[in-house]
Amino acid sequence: MGFFAIFLLLSILFVSASFSSGEMQPKMGVCYGELGNNLPIPSKSIQLIQKLNAKRIKIYGTNPKILKAIQHTDIQISIMVPNQLIPAISTNQTLADHWVHSNVVPFYPKSKIRYLLVGNEILSNQPNSTWFKLVPAMRKIRYSVKKFGLKKIKIGTPLAMDVLESSFPPSNGTFRSDVREKVILPLLRFLDRTKSFFFVDAYTYFPWVSQPLQINLDYALLQLTNITYTDPGTNLTYNNLLDQMLDSVVFAMKRLGYPNIRLFLAETGWPNGGDLDQIGANVYNAATYNRNVVKKFMAKPPTGTPARPGTLIPTMIFALYNENQKPGQGTERHFGLLYPNGSHVYPIDLSGKTSVSEYPVLPEPKSNRKLWCVAADSANKTALAEAVSYACSQGNRTCDPIQPGGKCYKPNSLSKHASYAFSSYWTQLRTAGATCFFNGLAVMTSKDPSYGSCKYPSVNL
């Protein structure tokens, strides 16, 4: 009995000691994407990362120059098996061994490789046989990592929020039915058994930008206001959108019988710019969001989320640089903390030691909080003219200013008239359910289309 009690006491002491050091200290990370043709070389990039006070980085491959450059620093790194290798590795232990032997072994332990991610958001693509090979590939990679005695490396795979078919209310969080049984269940079993993390990429920007009038901007930016949401399923109260998103993953895992797998926020961020008509994407909002992320996730003791108060969630901000070769909308190329020339897009300190009020105040963007509904650049002219007649037939004097002699009649261009008609229709009838869509002919913009004495009606965010 006595021996047992002492043994128990020692293990408790040991456990609490390991909780207060190493992995359990908050460390902010940054995602070091390399999709730019104008980015600094790895050794210079590592200096910039140290100046940001980032303690972790994630790379989207295994660039040996980066792995070399972090030796003799305290930066921990997460590396990645490319998506294309998953099918071959899933059935070939020799290949898994070969991959680990050539990409990890030469650098470990001098390079502090801590996470080995298998693929990137692979469940977000079109239905694809690679999905079902993911967990088998993770098992093979883990077997190799153990075989080579690389003790500190956890295996995971980062998934985007679209693995959930429902995320609202958070307690209704549910994994997509097309992957739930055959991919997610074995994945959760693997992560649980290996004490790894569920790596999730979660951006409040995307739900906000698709519903900017339903979701308060400050709530998405993690600005503490009096806005709260209480989940009717749990009575848990939320004061920001990110906690809601993270807890929806927690509840989705719980629904499948895994209530305790830790979360790792593998990517989060906010765009500092984009195409002209992309709302909310500006330096002011990006600085606000990312500074709030640092404050939240570097807090000691950790704040956690309403479903898991006090838990530490390791976090990586996307991204180190604005990357000019990322495909997709303009915002995709504007997530950086730094410009490619290495200068800050806005001041930020990832150590958590600079309080939000200590940063120099940034000018609020001009039209940041107003929205107009304008004709999309590529809109079909015939359909656009039809939509204008419809919009003008609704509401009260909706199109008076674009009639001959009106303040917005000249220049007599279909696209300008349509933008006026859409904005006027939308601002008047929005509360009655009107949307800024017109079958894809209309888009929301935060750039004021007004000119001269022609003022377009707007909606306040």
Ligand X SMILES: *[C@@H]1O[C@H](CO)[C@@H](O)[C@H](O)[C@H]1NC(C)=O
Q: Which two tokens stand for residue 74?
A: 């305290």
Q: Where are the beta strands (DSSP E) in 89-235?
A: 112-118, 154-156, 159-160, 164-166, 174-175, 197-201, 229-230
Q: Which residues pair with 308 in a beta bridge?
A: 305
Closer CB to ligand X, 20 or 343, in the complex: 343
Closer CB to ligand X, 109 or 347, in the complex: 347
Q: Which two tokens stand for residue 205?
A: 């920007």
Q: Does 389 bind ligand X (CB under 6 A)?
A: no
Is 323 annotated as catalytic? no
Q: Which residues pair with 17 in a beta bridge?
A: none
Q: How far is the CB of 53 from ligand X (least distance, A)?
A: 20
Q: How far is the CB of 12 from ligand X (least distance, A)?
A: 32
Q: How far is the CB of 19 from ligand X (least distance, A)?
A: 30
- From residue 1 to residue 30, the character string flagging contacts with ligand X as x (rule: CB under 6 A) and all else as - is ------------------------------
Q: How far is the CB of 237 from ligand X (least distance, A)?
A: 11
Q: Does 354 bind ligand X (CB under 6 A)?
A: no
Closer CB to ligand X, 26 or 169, in the complex: 169
Q: Does 414 bind ligand X (CB under 6 A)?
A: no
Of 121, 165, 323, 386, catalytic: 121
Closer CB to ligand X, 368 or 394, in the complex: 394
Contact 227, 239 (CB under 8 A): yes
* Neighbouring C-beta atoms of residue 58, cutoff 10 Å: 26
d(CA 141, CA 135): 10
Of 100, 178, 111, the residue nearest 140 (C-alpha): 100
CA 319 to chain centre: 10
Which SS3 state, helix, strand or coil, does residue 213 take? coil
Closest-approach residue to ligand X (CB): 166
Size of the site for ligand X (CB under 6 A): 27
- From residue 232 to residue 271, the character string flagging contacts with ligand X as x (rule: CB under 6 A) and all else as - is --xx------------------------------------
Of 380, 396, 456, 451, the residue nearest 422 (C-alpha): 456
**DSSP codes of every residue in 252-320:** HHHHTT---PEEEEEEE---S--STT-TT-SHHHHHHHHHHHHHHHT-SS--EETTEET----EEEE-S
Closer CB to ligand X, 83 or 354, in the complex: 83
Q: Does 174 bind ligand X (CB under 6 A)?
A: yes
d(CA 150, CA 179): 31
Q: Does 343 bind ligand X (CB under 6 A)?
A: yes
Q: Does 122 bind ligand X (CB under 6 A)?
A: yes
What are phi and psi for residue 256, nearest 5 degrees?
Answer: -95, 10
Is 165 annotated as catalytic? no
Q: Does 168 bind ligand X (CB under 6 A)?
A: yes
Footprint on this chain of ligand X (rule: CB under 6 A):
83-84, 92, 94-95, 98, 122, 125-126, 128, 130, 165-166, 168, 172, 174, 226, 234-235, 339, 341, 343, 380, 382-383, 396-397
Q: Name the residues annotated as catalytic.
A: 121, 267
